[in-house]
């Protein structure tokens, strides 16, 4: 039922652009959704996914409606009350914690969770259960960027804002296809280029994507050579004299070591390693070097890598040697794939983080949070990360996992191993909106959750913009907001500190923990967010001026020396190299009209029309050598598994490289469309982000 009849401002629940929408409740319980013309990010515009948002609420045919539980692995799930489900789960968790310690249980959540939800899950596991075993699917997405920001700038802080797009005169888009994956942001770039044709756009990508249509130069590199290429750009900038020595001397450290490393290889050698013309590297460097305001954008091509942190640092270095940071139109802009990956980072919702950018390794920070929560001591050692959780389930270190709002049996790398792990788990809780996720087959308890527009809370988009999302309609059946489920469970465990009267009380507690930190948002509450529509953090109590569009305008960074750090990364290779048996490089990615594992967008016929079926893209030269024609079935094999899928020929992909979309899971019981059957479990050693963009495969005609 509608909770009010007026159209309410809210935010699109898909990508990290975070477009504003107006959600109108209809008399029949459905909603209508249009773009919000007053919202600064999109000014009313929506992409194909946002234009079909209403179906995620209106089509309730695949919703979980009531709690279910089974008393042993041999029994089927049966309907139970909320009390029964939560009391039994609390009893099971208590038993495991007593017998095997707090690290025997874990929560695996999502970048789609609202900030309030992240906050209570994090508080529960870290403060009261006494383990850091909380990770989210943001680990698969942004953790390399988080580590890169921390190492270079001192904290996980995006320095720029979307309005910098209209102020930049040179863009470097690397490892990203925003024309498809962040479309509304990209339309702003397109409009800016149309109004200012002199604006230069450099795209680095092994595939010629739609984003390349706007490029002045496309550096179609060999996958995995990003660090080499970024360092070559650095060398070319130094050679041209296009660096900002005054900035380097006053506000950065590490330049001399960096210079030494980038001069170890000539531009010709780098060009050969990357498979791009040397002249194009020089041209791209000339664009960056001549820019008044240089803005970079990136996503998974840099992050999802066994050298993801190095790739991030090598990009950040280009800003630091040119002083292109902390001023209008200039700086690095990491694009998040999920709507609230940033909010999760703010509350410390990963296994190695603490709230408000505090450090887990710092005893004073742990004590501060413990005192604030009135909890037990916080564990000093990081918990299991996303993929580590499933390894720990498989070998028995982890007994119970609680999966919230994510679909790991489609999204994890080397996913058949994750399936085997869930089959061995002693206890699996699945807290979910949809009947679709494959995890439900392994659940001992199923908890139905309220979906977007059925619950209230906040989210932060890629530019630190916090927005309020109202509850517009009631959730179906007995579904509850995720935060309420967690608080009820915490109380069933006997923990104090989870008696929040409403969602705003959770938000205000989170906000109080930000006091005095770099993301101090103590000036905020729901009333201000409703009145202003959105606010960019930090937003302090005393803040009279507009919110903080840009960080580091005083060139004071969050490092102990207040200088940014230029890291002389070397171009290590940690991926699975192609060989005679597996000669192709596989890379994965998104398609335009689908989002993540398709539990929402896959139900909308208007969206499935664009690309109805999974496919494998390969170069016509490779296709000819394999005797494969367009639409032929091919088998893509790696050391971990295979997919069987239709071939698509494209001259836009490098020979020797093949591409699979990441969205498809099991279709009609078959997992042969699932890209993650073949992807590698290799991780970046610092960020623990998986190497989704690179593994060795064989392709044969079926
Ligand atoms: Fe939603 Fe992203 Fe599209 Fe905006 S660009 S409408 S946030 S999916």
Mean pLDDT of the chain: 95
Does residue 244 carry a pLDDT above 70? yes
CATH code linked to domain 584-701 = 2.40.40.20
Q: Which residues contact 359 (CB under 8 A, 6 or more apart)?
A: 365
Measured in angstroms, how far is the CA atom of residue 610 from the centroid of ligand 1? 17
Q: What's the 486 CA to ligand 1 centre distance in angstroms?
A: 28
pLDDT confidence bin for 327, thresholds 50/70/90: very high
Q: Which atom of ligand 1 is nearest to the CA of 185?
A: 5
Give the tokens for residue 610.
């664009």
Task: Please tell me the distance between residue 9's alpha carbon and the centre of ligand 1 in angstroms.
Answer: 15
Euclidean distance between CA atoms 311 and 306, whole angstroms: 10
Is 165 touching ligand 1 by the criterion CB < 6 Å?
no
CA of 10 to the centre of ligand 1 (A): 12
Q: Is 666 a residue whose pLDDT tops 90?
A: no
In the chain, CATH 3.40.228.10 sits at 143-334
| Own/partner long-range contacts of 368-371 (Cβ < 8 Å, ≥24 apart) | 369/126, 369/127, 369/513, 370/127
Q: From ligand 1's centre to the CA of 162, what distance in Å?
A: 14
Paired residues of 107 in beta bridges: 134, 402
Residue 339 alpha carbon, nearest atom of ligand 1: 7
CB half-sphere exposure, 277, CA atoms < 13 A:
6
Who's near 16: CB < 8 A, 6+ residues apart?
Answer: 182, 335, 336, 337, 338, 339, 341, 342, 461, 462
Average pLDDT over residues 200-216: 97
pLDDT at 2: 56
In CATH terms, the fold of domain 68-136+343-536 is Rossmann fold (3.40.50)
Kindly give the distance from the C-alpha atom of residue 434 to the centroid of ligand 1, in angstroms, as a whole number. 21
Ligand 1 neighbour 184 (Cβ under 6 A) = yes
- CATH code 3.20.20.330 for 143-334: no
Q: Which residues lie closer than 8 Å to 667 by C-beta, 6 or more apart? A: 614, 673
Helix (H) or strand (E) holding 70: none
Atom 3 of ligand 1 has which residue's CA nearest to it? Answer: 47
Query: What distance in angstroms lies between residue 20's CA and the mean position of ligand 1's atoms?
Result: 9
Residue range 530-570, pLDDT digits in tens: 998 999 999 987 665 667 899 999 999 999 999 999 999 99
Q: Which atom of ligand 1 is nearest to the CA of 46?
A: 6
Rg of the Cα atoms in the chain: 24
Percent of the chain clearing pLDDT 70 (strictly above): 99
Closest residue to atom 4 of ligand 1, CA basis: 19
Query: Is 8-58 in CATH node 3.30.300.30?
Result: no
Domain with CATH 3.40.50.740 in the chain: 68-136+343-536
- As a whole number of angstroms, the distance between CA 332 and CA 552 comes to 12
**How many whole angstroms separate alpha carbon 65 and alpha carbon 67?**
7
Which of 9, 13, 14 to mutate for ligand 1's pocket (most ligand atoms within 8 Å of CB)?
14
Rounded mean pLDDT of 364-383? 97
The per-residue pLDDT for range 222-243, each reduced to its tens digit, is: 999 999 999 999 999 999 999 9
Q: What separation in Å is there between the alpha carbon of 53 and the centre of ligand 1?
A: 10
Residue 417: enclosing H or E segment and its boundaries? helix 415-424
Per residue in 191-200, pLDDT (tens digit) is 999 999 999 9
**15 CB near ligand 1 (under 6 Å):** yes
Q: What residues are paired with 546 via a beta bridge?
A: none
Of all protein residues, the one whose alpha carbon is nearest to atom 6 of ligand 1 is: 50
How far apart (Å, rounded) are the C-alpha atoms in residues 329 and 347? 28
13 C-alpha vs ligand 1 centroid, how far in Å?
8
CA–centroid distance, residue 49 to ligand 1 (Å): 6
CA distance 115 to 216: 39
Closest ligand 1 atom, CA of 183? Answer: 5
User: Is the ipTM, as predicted for this complex, more than 0.90?
Assistant: yes
675 lines ligand 1 (CB under 6 A): no
Q: What confidence score (pLDDT) does residue 600 get?
A: 85
Residue, of 377 and 668, whose pLDDT is higher: 377
SS3 state of residue 661: strand
Question: Ligand 1: does its nearest atom lie under 6 Å from the Cβ of 183?
Answer: yes
Spacing, Cα 14 to ligand 1 middle (Å): 6
Q: What is the mean pLDDT of residues 406-424?
A: 95
Q: Which atom of ligand 1 is nearest to the CA of 15?
A: 2
For residue 469, how far is its CA from the centre of ligand 1 (angstroms)?
15
What confidence score (pLDDT) does residue 599 get? Answer: 84
To which H or E segment does residue 30 belong?
Answer: none
Give the mean model confidence (pLDDT) for residues 444-453: 97
Ligand 1 contact via 237 beta carbon (within 6 Å): no
Q: Where are the domain boundaries for CATH 2.20.25.90 in the chain?
A: 8-58
Find out whether the beta carbon of 186 lies less than 6 Å from any atom of ligand 1.
no
Atom number, ligand 1, closest to the C-alpha of residue 11: 7
What is the mean pLDDT of the segment spanning 405-426? 95
Q: What's the rounded Cα separation, in Å, for the pair 138 and 350?
A: 8
Instruction: Report in angstroms the alpha-carbon separations of 525 from 456, 505, 514.
Output: 13, 9, 13
Q: Which atom of ligand 1 is nearest to the CA of 184?
A: 5
Side-chain-side CA neighbours of 561 within 13 Å: the count stands at 11
- Could you tell me the pLDDT band of residue 3, with boundaries at 50, 70 and 90? low
For the segment 682-691, the average pLDDT, to the nearest whole number, is: 97
Assigned token pair, 686: 């610092």
Q: What is the pTM of this model?
A: 0.96
Q: How confident is the model at residue 337 (pLDDT cuts 50, 70, 90)?
A: confident
Compute the 3-state secondary structure of the chain and give helix, strand, coil in percent, each to the nearest 5.
Answer: 35, 20, 45
User: Are the CB atoms for 633 and 702 separated by under 8 Å?
Assistant: yes
19 lines ligand 1 (CB under 6 A): yes
Per-residue model confidence as pLDDT tens digits over 24-46: 999 998 999 999 999 999 999 99
Range 97-102 contact pairs with CB under 8 angstroms and sequence separation of 24 or more: 97/129, 100/399, 101/131, 102/129, 102/130, 102/131, 102/133, 102/379
Query: Measured from the CB, is residue 589 less than 6 Å from ligand 1?
Result: no
The finding on whether 49 has its CB within 6 A of some atom of ligand 1 is yes
Ligand 1 center to 645 CA (angstroms): 29
- Contacts with 194 (C-beta within 8 Å, 6 or more apart), sequence order: none
For the chain, give every residue range classified as CATH 2.40.40.20: 584-701
Give the C-alpha separation, 667 to 676, whole Å: 14
How much is the pLDDT for 8?
96
- 329 within ligand 1 shell (Cβ under 6 A): no
Distance (Å) from CA 655 to ligand 1 centroid: 32
């Amino acid at each position: 039922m509608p909770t009010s009849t007026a159209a309410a401002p809210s935010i699109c629940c898909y990508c990290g652009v975070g477009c504003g929408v107006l959600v109108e409740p209809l008399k029949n319980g459905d909603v209508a959704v249009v773009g919000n013309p007053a919202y600064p990010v999109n000014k009313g515009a929506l992409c194909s996914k946002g234009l079909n948002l209403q179906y995620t609420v209106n089509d309730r045919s695949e919703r979980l409606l009531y709690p279910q539980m089974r008393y042993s692995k041999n029994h089927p799930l049966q309907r139970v009350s909320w009390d029964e489900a939560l009391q039994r789960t609390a009893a099971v968790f208590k038993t495991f914690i007593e017998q095997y310690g707090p690290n025997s249980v874990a929560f695996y959540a999502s970048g789609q969770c609202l900030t309030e939800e992240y906050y209570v899950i994090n508080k529960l596991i870290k403060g009261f259960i006494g383990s850091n075993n909380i990770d989210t699917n943001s680990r698969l997405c942004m953790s390399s960027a988080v580590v890169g920001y921390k190492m270079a700038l001192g904290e996980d802080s995006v320095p720029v804002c979307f309005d910098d797009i209209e102020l930049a005169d040179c863009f470097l888009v690397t490892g990203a296809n925003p024309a498809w994956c962040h479309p509304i942001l990209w339309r702003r770039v397109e409009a800016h280029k149309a109004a200012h044709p002199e604006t230069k756009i450099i795209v680095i990508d092994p595939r010629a994507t739609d984003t390349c249509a706007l490029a002045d130069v496309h550096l179609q590199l060999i996958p995995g050579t990003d660090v080499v290429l970024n360092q070559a750009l650095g060398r070319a900038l130094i050679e041209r004299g296009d660096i900002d020595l005054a900035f380097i001397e006053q506000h950065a450290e590490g330049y001399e070591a960096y210079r030494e490393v980038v001069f170890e290889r000539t531009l010709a050698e780098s060009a050969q390693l990357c498979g791009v013309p040397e002249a194009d590297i020089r041209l791209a460097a000339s664009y960056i070097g001549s820019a008044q305001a240089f803005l970079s954008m990136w996503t998974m091509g840099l992050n999802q890598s066994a050298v993801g942190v190095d790739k991030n640092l090598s990009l950040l270095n280009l800003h630091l040697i040119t002083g292109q940071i902390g001023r209008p139109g200039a700086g690095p802009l990491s694009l998040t794939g999920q709507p609230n990956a940033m909010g999760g980072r703010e509350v410390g919702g990963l296994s190695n983080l603490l709230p408000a950018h505090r450090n887990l390794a710092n005893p004073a920070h742990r004590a501060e949070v413990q005192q604030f929560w009135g909890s037990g001591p916080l564990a000093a050692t990081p918990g299991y990360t996303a993929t580590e959780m499933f390894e720990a389930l498989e070998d028995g270190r982890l007994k119970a996992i609680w999966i919230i709002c994510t679909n790991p049996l489609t999204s994890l790398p080397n996913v058949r191993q994750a399936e085997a792990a869930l089959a061995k788990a002693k206890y699996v809780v699945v807290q979910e909106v949809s009947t679709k996720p494959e995890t439900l087959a392994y659940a001992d308890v199923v908890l139905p959750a309220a979906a977007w527009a059925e619950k209230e809370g906040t989210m932060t988009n890629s530019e630190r913009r916090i927005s309020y999302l109202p509850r517009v309609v009631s959730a179906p059946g007995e579904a509850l907001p995720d935060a309420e489920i967690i608080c009820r469970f915490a109380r069933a465990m006997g923990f104090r500190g989870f008696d929040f009267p409403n969602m705003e009380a959770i938000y205000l507690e989170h906000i109080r923990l930000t006091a005095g930190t770099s993301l101090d948002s103590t000036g905020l509450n729901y009333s201000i967010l409703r009145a202003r529509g959105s606010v960019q953090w930090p937003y302090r109590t005393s803040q009279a001026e507009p919110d903080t569009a840009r960080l580091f305008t005083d060139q004071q960074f969050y490092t102990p020396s207040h200088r940014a750090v230029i890291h002389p990364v070397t171009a290590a290779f940690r991926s699975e190299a192609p060989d005679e048996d597996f000669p192709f490089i596989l890379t994965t990615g998104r398609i335009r009209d689908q989002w993540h594992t398709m539990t929402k967008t896959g139900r909308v016929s208007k969206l499935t029309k664009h690309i109805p079926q999974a496919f494998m893209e390969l170069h016509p030269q490779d296709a000819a050598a394999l005797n494969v024609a367009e639409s032929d079935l091919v088998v893509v094999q790696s050391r971990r598994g295979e997919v069987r899928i239709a071939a698509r020929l494209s001259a836009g992909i490098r020979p020797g490289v093949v591409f699979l979309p990441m969205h498809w899971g099991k279709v009609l019981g078959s997992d042969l469309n699932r890209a993650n059957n073949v992807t590698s479990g290799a991780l970046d050693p610092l960020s623990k982000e998986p190497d989704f963009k690179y593994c060795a495969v064989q392709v044969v005609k079926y």
